[in-house]
Amino acid sequence: MSSRQPNGKGRGLLAAVLAALAVAVAIKFLAPKNDTSAIVPTAPVTVSNATRLPVVLPTTVAADDAQKEVPQSATAGHEVASAPAEPKIDRRNVPVDYFKRSAGPLPEPTAPPVTPLVPLTPEQIAEAERQIEDYLRQKLKTRRLPEVAIPLGQVANAWNADDEFGRAKNRRERYFLIARHLSVVTQLLAQDEIEVRRSGLKLASRVLSKAAFDLKDGKLAAAIADAFIVPHLDAAHPMIDQYDSRYHMLRMAVVGYGAGDQPEKMEGAIGEILKLLAGRNAADAWRLTLAKSLRKQGKETQAIAVLADIHDPSIVPAKEQLLASIQDTD
């Protein structure tokens, strides 16, 4: 049997077909599958093996609890109109030189130290947690708060809280979510593993943020700082520019105490921040914030002493403006 060999024209056509098939196969296997990363932003932080709480909203709270009497010891009517701006701590939002040390040695601060920030004792923490629970029961009009049991030794991803709050439709649902997440925070902070406790600290900071900014509930925000942030600063990340660092947790304590109108505790938190930022550019910005708080309380002499420690050229104009306003009122 004889076989015909393709002529030059046939061989060219065959080569073109094979090349087209090769391109099609390459596109099929090399193209990304449903890759929407370019248009869908990812979460700021990804935690491997992190606990994601099931989505549950207040319908799970028993309906017959709604009209029952709530403890009268609960704190009521402490919402505030505004709170200090939430600090932008994510690396992408912090100026490159924010944490740099000053190019040259700075003069030693001369202002007297502010009232120190003293963490609550274990007994005081337990009482603060009980008062928070009473307050949330009052807000939810229920005797039974939502609880979530989490696996021992497993961290929780704090950014999931942001997702759930984004789906909440009203204030009651937000209070429900705060109660729910605080039940998780309590379990995380009670464990021994530093990474687990650190995830609880981070989650507590997100809940504090929601109380201060979403609900504008300053009393609750300050109570969260007291019970869940300040006593657990030892679990914070050692690197200053991390979201779960001691620095950031102290910043969130400033937010909570400022929203709750507790200036002495707020100033104590700023005092701790100044210790962390010794010799760094950012310290003078915090001194300006501290001076404003002292001035607001009528402590002009202390405010002037704090302003005298400000040397950063970018802060000096604001320093001089505040100093002039203090002197005008004398």
pLDDT at 39 over 60: no
Displacement of CA 256 from its chain's centroid (Å): 11
- pLDDT on residue 158: 86
- pLDDT on residue 103: 58
Q: Tell me the per-residue pLDDT of 141-168, one tens digit each, with 9 for 90 and over.
A: 999 999 888 889 988 888 888 889 999 9
- pLDDT on residue 220: 98
Tell me the domain boundaries of the chain: 61-75+114-276, 281-330
Going by pLDDT thresholds of 50, 70 and 90, the confidence category of residue 329 is: confident
Measured in degrees and rounded to the nearest 5, phi and psi for residue 328 equal: -65, -25
Q: Letter for the amino acid at 61?
A: V
d(CA 126, CA 129) in angstroms, rounded, equals: 5
- pLDDT on residue 108: 84
